[in-house]
Chains A and B, each alone.
Chain A
Amino acid sequence: MKFTLSWLREHLAGDYTLDDVTGALNRIGFEVEGVEDKAGKLKGFTIAYVVSAEKHPNADKLRVCMVDTGAGEPVQVVCGAPNARTGMKSVFSPPGTYIPGKDITLGIGSIRGVESRGMLCSAAELQLSEDHDGIIDLPADAPVGATYVDWIGLDDPVVEIAVTPNRADGLGIHGLARDLAAAGVGTLIDKAILPVAGAFPCPVKVTIADDAPCPAFALRLIRGVKNGPSPDWLQAKLRAIGLRPINALVDVTNLLTFDQNRPLHVFDASKVHGDLVVRRARDGETLLALDGKSYTLDASMCVIADDKAVESLAGVMGGEESGCDEATTDVLVESALWEPINIAQTGRKLGLNSDARFRFERGIDPAFTLPGLELATKLILDLCGGEPSEVVLAGAIPDTTRTIPFPLSLTEKLAGLVADDAEQIEVLGKLGFKVAGSSGTVEVVPPSWRGDIEGKADLVEEVVRIIGLDRVPATPFPRDETARQPVLTTLQIRTRKAKRMLATRGMVEAVTWSFVAKASAELFGGGQPELALANPIASDLSDMRPSLLPGLIRSAQANADRGTGDVALFEVGQVFKGDRPQDQFICATGLRRAFAKPAGTGRHWSAKAAPVDAFDAKADALAVLAACGAPVANLQISTDAPSWFHPGRSGSFRLGANVMGHFGELHPALLEALDVEGPLVGFEIVLDRIPEPKAKATRVKPLLDLSPFQPVERDFAFVVARSVAAGDIVKAVAGVDRKLIVAVNVFDVYEGPGIDADKKSVALSVTLQPREKTLTDAEIEAVAGKIVADVAKKTGATLRG
């Protein structure tokens, strides 16, 4: 919403400055988005007298002028304007002036051998109009030396404000003036609007169909008008706020739209066939609107139609066919009320924005429907002459009167603002609220233009914003006594720990989109129809992600394309298995590419470079699981990771049926489908699936139990079928004596010469920790024998010879 300071002054009397206005607007809820001060840019341009204008000695079309600028001796200026002549007054700019119309800063120049110390200017050069036919020609009484923009009264800043959707009344300058006056800036000028008597009955009848979203529709004919360009003052006003003057009749409607927040419409009566009916559009009906575009309508929309066709899209835009042009002599002026939601939906459906729609969908003052029409009538008669008919009103102006009981103490209770009763009542009164009572709980009737006021909280807001939020003291907020407990949930704590743990492993945290391409979603077990966005922003951001891996894989490839191939990325975030809240899980997911090993990235002199492998991903995953308190020692590893992993180089972590996550090399076919290069290894851990920690009765750690007896370490090398899992051998060993055997470590796995082709050798070191006495050789031999026997029984292994 834009307005000029001078326009505001028509509604707001008093001695106030631009800063007073912008400061107050910000304070009372109309955010100032910009102030355009044309005069400020043109302060260097002054009125000057052309003492003489002689032909340039070396150029036919140039003149050498001696210019009296009002500051000492006349100045020599070379001028090319055809209208430059001795004795005229014009606008002068000295060297050093910025010329906005040419985007140059003037210097002292020599034009065809004659020095020029300044410039005489056209209106275009000042960006005041398009006129660049000659220099500005001023009347003889223009004061030499005065600042030009001040003298012509252009000292009129344009203020642009943001109006919140609840404040339709702020979309009219009169409404803004009312709020400013209440806030102590100026005095509201509230002129009475007198009805203009009709000279004859309106010949056009209006009917509102039963299902039309139109409470009231007022219309009058003015015949015998002389339309044409509107006067300069009106054109200037509209231009100042960015509107294009059309013709006097249309300009009047635009003027009142911004002046009073009262959109109107004018029909050329000669182009209206018969009577008007306000009704729902018929599916497929079309309208060529005033913006020159044709719109296809449907039955959800409301139109104004005559006997032949739709003439106007209600509350949004008029029709081209019945619009007023300079030939219009009889005009029908419409002032109507529309249901805001219908207007909003219509505009949205058609993608059609207009100043009228913007206002009607916010809800305008119903009580101003008829005064608005009277004001328009008066303006049209003033500008175009003519003779008005009586007003016809279809429907009825709704009575929005309501009474809100308002305990004045609520202002302090809700806002912490101490304001006495009289001050509160005065504020409400200045805003147009009627208040009955003077203390305790008063009865408040909001004005007709404040449809947004529903209850007492709204009244507190009115009081607070006008008195000023500055007067609300910042009040210390005591930390309540129950607030000594940890504030994070287990899942939140785990999320934090997982992130920090992975980062300490050299991985970099990415935050990728929650949506991925449908094809990607499908590759990772997603892509269900209920998780596809109805209005995605791009086709590769169309489906809610079932896994964090596709985003990370895409990012890893993008980094590789940028020259960083060895990347280790992770993300801890939400995945979507369905559209219900309980289908959303938090995953910690990581990805390593190429040579981004946990110990360090890329080649290094200290060791031969090896590409990432499944065990890097396993180590990352276990680090997350351990950091999140999962019972890592009890986890089972199964070889049933989902299809996006390499079937032979991947695994799942589980506790019985509870699968907490997967790790491994990514499937070669997946890389091909995603058009990315490997090697890529990754893991995903569902943090929600890690069992909740058991509540601890005490923070005391269990007593440290140290054995005084030496531990004994024995090595075993087993030869076993390649298909046997090392984990099964370890499990068999550990099961021999769970008390005595405290550690089983696999220190070598060998396949190759010396071992049968279908076998492998697995070497373990087993640590025995006696607790009651030192073990005898015989006791050690007995345990070793049982280890060999049990492993043989459970895995078919033999001791390597």
Chain B
Amino acid sequence: MSVAALPDLAALEAALTADIAAAGDEAALEALRVAALGKKGSVSELLKSLGGMSPEERKTAGPAINGLRDRLNAALAERRTALKAAALARRLETERVDVTLPVREAPAETGRVHPISQVIDELTAIFADMGFAVAEGPDIEDDFHNFTALNFPEGHPAREMHDTFYLPTREDGSRLVLRTHTSPVQVRTMLANKPPIRVICPGRTYRSDSDQTHTPMFHQVEGLVIDKGSHLGHLKWILQEFCKAFFEVENVTMRFRPSFFPFTEPSMEVDIQCDRSRPGEIRFGEGNDWLEILGCGMVHPNVIRNCGLDPDEYQGFAWGMGIDRIAMLKYGMPDLRAFFEADVRWLQHYGFRPLDFPTLAGGLSN
């Protein structure tokens, strides 16, 4: 075979290059590649023919044919890239969504936790930090736990201060009550545990009263400390720290007034300083108004005795306040009755997002 037998490489290259440039899609391009560079392709055949050439012939023809192959490969690759890009561009042209269409709101953003639950979690965070556990008890109570153990003598006018709900009179003449305060939980705690005791008792309470500021069911939280030396000064400090933490203010001025509760002696009511001069808003830590927020005192010796402890050995203090009330004060909710109406408009507005879990580290109401 002679060199003269070689076809016109330049013409072949020109034809193939033109075909590649004209290829309309990747399939056409692939067909061209097979026709030229496939096993039986025109250029492959030429490469095979090198084997039959003399060294001299090969010296010239080798680089020529190999160069042709390499240039064709490059042209194919370039065309392939261009075709891919064009195809992607065409596809993207057709793939459109209206991004202004609304998506579903995250359920976690639409769900709400009731303000009472949130405030109980806030109280728990504050008092847990001071070493208080959370104690609970039944809503249906007997006379002993709700009244007698708490030093309410039968027939005493102090009992009348509680508009009690009664369950039916039983065969033995006794009748159960819906607890009028969470104090029976204190009694149960003292009866079941040895001091030192530090608990808070949040829960539902009931009084047969209904008007703008009273509902037949409401929520209280009480605190109890029993040990051998805790006194009124400690109680004052705890309540001050609590008010600062709960209302999230630097300072709270408190006014302690002597008062009366059958289950504490001495007894006090506590007012906090506030500013009520803006309609519908109360600010704590400033102003010239006083707002009563809780009752407290040293646990009455009779109560300690009724709970099986010796009042000459053990002493301590207790306090109680309305959860609904402090929630209303802190978050500016005007009507207590709305708490229990389950109106989703109210709950959406005043409720809390489930992930806003109150912590001392992150701020109670961040």
Contacts and interface: CB of A to CB of B under 8 A. Distances in A.
Task: Judge: A and B partners, yes or no.
Answer: yes
Interface of A: 26-29, 31, 164-167, 340-341, 344-345, 348, 361-362, 412-417, 454-455, 457-458, 460-461, 464-465, 469-470, 472-477, 479-480, 482-483, 487-489, 492, 496, 499-515, 529-537, 541, 544, 551-552, 555, 558-559, 562, 564, 567-569, 572-574, 576, 579-581, 584, 598-601, 604-606
A316 B344 CA distance: 50
A558 B341 contact: yes
B220 interface: no
Interface of B: 101-105, 107-108, 110-114, 116-117, 121, 124, 128-134, 136-140, 153-158, 160-161, 165-170, 175-176, 178, 196, 198, 204, 206, 208, 210, 216-217, 225, 229-234, 236-238, 240, 255-260, 265-269, 298, 300-302, 311, 315, 339-345, 347-348, 351, 353-355, 357
B226 to A, nearest CB: 12
Which 5 pairs show the lowest CB-CB distances between chains A and B? A416-B233, A483-B131, A506-B107, A29-B258, A164-B260
Contacts of B240: 474
Contact of B237 (A164, A476, A488): A476
B301 A457 contact: yes
A479 B130 contact: yes
Contacts of A601: 110
Contacts, number: 272
Contact of A457 (B111, B175, B300): B300
A490 B157 CA distance: 40
A507 B198 CA distance: 35
Given A362-B157, A506-B111, A530 B167 contact: yes
Given A473-B236, A579-B140, 18 more contacts: A26-B257, A164-B259, A165-B156, A413-B231, A415-B231, A454-B302, A461-B267, A475-B237, A480-B196, A480-B198, A483-B198, A503-B112, A508-B351, A509-B347, A551-B342, A552-B342, A572-B117, A584-B140
Contact of A503 (B124, B208, B354): B354
Given A341-B154, A496-B121, A499-B113, A510 B229 contact: no
B104 A600 contact: yes
A486 to B, nearest CB: 8
Given A477-B230, A529-B168, A487 B128 contact: yes
Contact of A559 (B178, B229, B236, B343): B343
Q: Chain B interface secondary structure, helix, strand, loop or mixed?
A: mixed
A98 to B, nearest CB: 22
Residue from A27, A416, A532 whose CB has the most chain B CB atoms within 10 Å: A416
A555 B165 CA distance: 24
Residue from A417, A474, A530 whose CB has the most chain B CB atoms within 10 Å: A474
Contacts of B107: 504-506, 598-600
Contact of A581 (B138, B160, B229, B357): B138
Contact of A361 (B128, B134, B157): B157
A475 B157 contact: no
A739 B314 CA distance: 60
A281 to B, nearest CB: 18
A584 B265 CA distance: 33
B167 A167 contact: no
A535 B351 CA distance: 32
17 contacts: A417-B233, A454-B302, A464-B266, A465-B258, A479-B131, A492-B136, A500-B357, A506-B111, A508-B347, A511-B116, A511-B342, A533-B166, A533-B167, A537-B165, A552-B342, A569-B344, A580-B140
Given A475-B233, A505-B107, A584-B139, A489 B101 contact: no
A436 to B, nearest CB: 21
A552 B341 CA distance: 10
Contact of B155 (A344, A537, A598): A344
Contacts of B230: 477
A453 B206 CA distance: 30
Nearest to B290: A26
A551 to B, nearest CB: 8
Contacts of B268: 469
A580 B260 CA distance: 31
Q: Chain A interface secondary structure, helix, strand, loop or mixed?
A: mixed
B265 A509 contact: no
A474 B111 contact: no
B155 A581 contact: no
Nearest to A510: B342
A376 B108 CA distance: 74
Nearest to A167: B260
Contacts of A544: 139-140
A508 B111 contact: yes
A344 B154 CA distance: 11
Contact of A508 (B112, B167, B260, B265): B112
A28 B258 contact: yes
Contacts of B155: 340-341, 344-345
A473 B204 contact: no
Nearest to A29: B258
A559 B237 contact: no
B121 A504 contact: no
B310 to A, nearest CB: 14
B203 to A, nearest CB: 9
A550 to B, nearest CB: 12
A344 B160 CA distance: 9
Nearest to B164: A535
B305 to A, nearest CB: 11
B168 A532 contact: yes
B231 A416 contact: yes
A472 B236 contact: yes
Contacts of A559: 342-344
Contacts of A470: 256
A44 B175 CA distance: 61
Contact of A504 (B298, B342, B354): B354
Contacts of B260: 29, 164-167
Contacts of B237: 474-477
A458 B265 CA distance: 6
B134 A492 contact: yes
B139 A574 contact: yes
Contacts of A454: 302
B345 A564 contact: yes
Given A341-B155, A487-B124, A600-B107, A605 B112 contact: no
Contacts of A457: 265-266, 298, 300-301, 311
A436 B275 CA distance: 48
Contacts of B258: 27-29, 461, 464-465, 469
A588 B86 CA distance: 59
A415 B232 contact: yes
Contacts of A464: 232, 258, 266
Contacts of A167: 260
A121 B57 CA distance: 141
B298 A414 contact: yes
A625 to B, nearest CB: 17
Contacts of A165: 156-158, 161, 260
Contacts of B104: 599-600, 604, 606
Contacts of A515: 216-217
A771 B232 CA distance: 67
A571 B44 CA distance: 80
A576 B101 CA distance: 48
Given A474-B240, A488-B134, A344 B140 contact: no
Contacts of A499: 113, 117, 354
A348 to B, nearest CB: 7
Contacts of B311: 457
A537 B163 CA distance: 11
Contacts of B138: 580-581, 584
Contact of B208 (A455, A472, A537, A574): A537
Contact of A558 (B105, B108, B343): B343
A515 B156 CA distance: 28
Contact of A535 (B130, B154, B166, B267): B166
Contact of A417 (B208, B232, B353): B232
Nearest to A559: B344
